[in-house]
Amino acid sequence: MRIAVSGSSGLIGSALVARLTAEGHDVRRLVRGGGGNPGDVAWDPVAGTVDHAALAGTEAVVHLAGAGIGDRRWTRARKEVIRASRVDGTAALSRAVAGLDPPPAVLVSGSAIGWYGDRGDEELTEDSGPGGGFLAEVCRAWEAATAPAADAGVRVVHVRSGVVQSPAGGALARQLPLFRLGLGGPLGRGRQYISWISLDDEVGALGHALTAGSLAGPVNLVAPAPVTGAEYARTLGRVLGRPARLPVPRAAMAVPFGRELVDELLASQRVRPGRLEAAGYRFAHRELEPALRHLLDT
């Protein structure tokens, strides 16, 4: 199958491209400026342009591009970059997909469990309504931007990803140095639910969304066993053989990152992967401790 992938240089995208290529698919990377490899598709998500000719013949599209959310303080300008990189880029790609003849059969478009906002202990499924806050607003607009593709008859899947676990990047990679020194602990009070997923399952679920014709609309990409922040810290400490008793106060986190970003990153989201499991996906890592032991080779 010929599959176009945006965000192909990121943590998830690079792992997905490697797996799809190993499976024998013809993978075309959407690259700003066109890249230097045969088959690369030039696009500019800010300007809203896509090389339609290079995209022709594509049978499926996975759209993962977007600016980092938790890597720097949110200023007004940074929030606009986060929003535009997702909403405007998705709209441009969706219009390009809709304009192909024939259009691809499926568009798997990135989203996030940030859709649900801060919901405490409430169990959340794909049928749960949206929450409040900046990330929830971005996710609503992000998903709505796929309308041109859906109107053209393309099967659109909104993959609402949880906290992807990998030592190569993301939240786990940022926490590992302190935990390995025995200085780790829960973020904030540790009562918030963390809905996580291993990188292996994130990539596997994306592949499943491409081929499972029953999947359309929102699909939660999270493991079946969310944990609290305190449970996460204890588990990571146990896997590393280190104490994990030093909480990081919310106020201390707010100094470098700002209160708004910290409040959203510590939102409690107890999310279930109902539609993914109903569509037959089998998780490689259902529980956190075996997942971390696999990822950290302990």
Amino acid at 167: P
Q: How many CB atoms within 10 Å of residue 123?
A: 12
The pTM assigned to this predicted structure is 0.96
State the pLDDT at residue 229: 98
How far the first Cα of the chain sits from its last, in Å, is 36
* 37 confidence band (pLDDT: 50, 70, 90): confident
Cα 160 to Cα 150: distance, rounded to the nearest angstrom: 17
Cα 93 to Cα 195: distance, rounded to the nearest angstrom: 28
Cα 120 to Cα 161: distance, rounded to the nearest angstrom: 18
State the pLDDT at residue 71: 85
Polymer length of the chain: 298
* 35 confidence band (pLDDT: 50, 70, 90): low
Task: Examine the pLDDT at 150 and tell me if it is beyond 90.
Answer: yes
Query: Residue 191 has which token pair?
Result: 């009562």
What's the sign of the alpha-carbon dihedral 160, 67, 20, 216? positive
Peptide bond into 130 cis (omega under 30): no
* Number of domains the chain contains: 1
Q: Based on the number of CB atoms within 10 Å of its own CB, is 255 exposed (0-12), middle (13-18) or buried (19 or more)?
A: exposed
Q: Which residues contact 16 (CB under 8 A, 6 or more apart)?
A: 5, 8, 62, 64, 203, 206, 207
Q: Could you tell me what percent of the chain has a pLDDT over 70? A: 99
Given phi > 0 = left and psi -120 to 50 = alpha, else beta, which region is 162? Answer: beta
Q: What is the pLDDT of residues 77-111, one digit of tens each?
A: 999 999 999 999 999 999 999 999 999 999 999 99
Q: How many CB atoms within 10 Å of residue 91?
A: 20
Evaluate whether 82 touches 69 at the Cβ level (below 8 Å): yes
State the pLDDT at residue 39: 82
CA nearest to 195, candidates 277, 113, 283, 296: 113
Task: Examine the pLDDT at 119 and tell me if it is beyond 90.
Answer: yes
Query: Residue 205 has which token pair?
Result: 């679920």
Cα 117 to Cα 193: distance, rounded to the nearest angstrom: 12
What's the sign of the alpha-carbon dihedral 113, 114, 119, 125? negative
Supply the CATH number for residue 219's domain.
3.40.50.720
Could you say which DSSP state residue 113 is in? G
Q: What is the pLDDT of residues 60-76, one digit of tens each?
A: 999 999 999 988 999 99
CA nearest to 60, candidates 208, 219, 221: 208
Evaluate whether 220 touches 274 at the Cβ level (below 8 Å): yes
Evaluate whether 135 touches 113 at the Cβ level (below 8 Å): no
Q: What is the pLDDT of residues 160-184, one digit of tens each?
A: 999 999 999 999 999 999 999 999 9
* 141 confidence band (pLDDT: 50, 70, 90): very high
Cα 156 to Cα 43: distance, rounded to the nearest angstrom: 20
Q: Which domain holds residue 167?
A: 2-296
State the pLDDT at residue 38: 78
Q: What is the pLDDT of residues 211-264, one digit of tens each?
A: 999 999 999 999 999 999 999 999 999 999 999 999 999 999 998 899 999 999
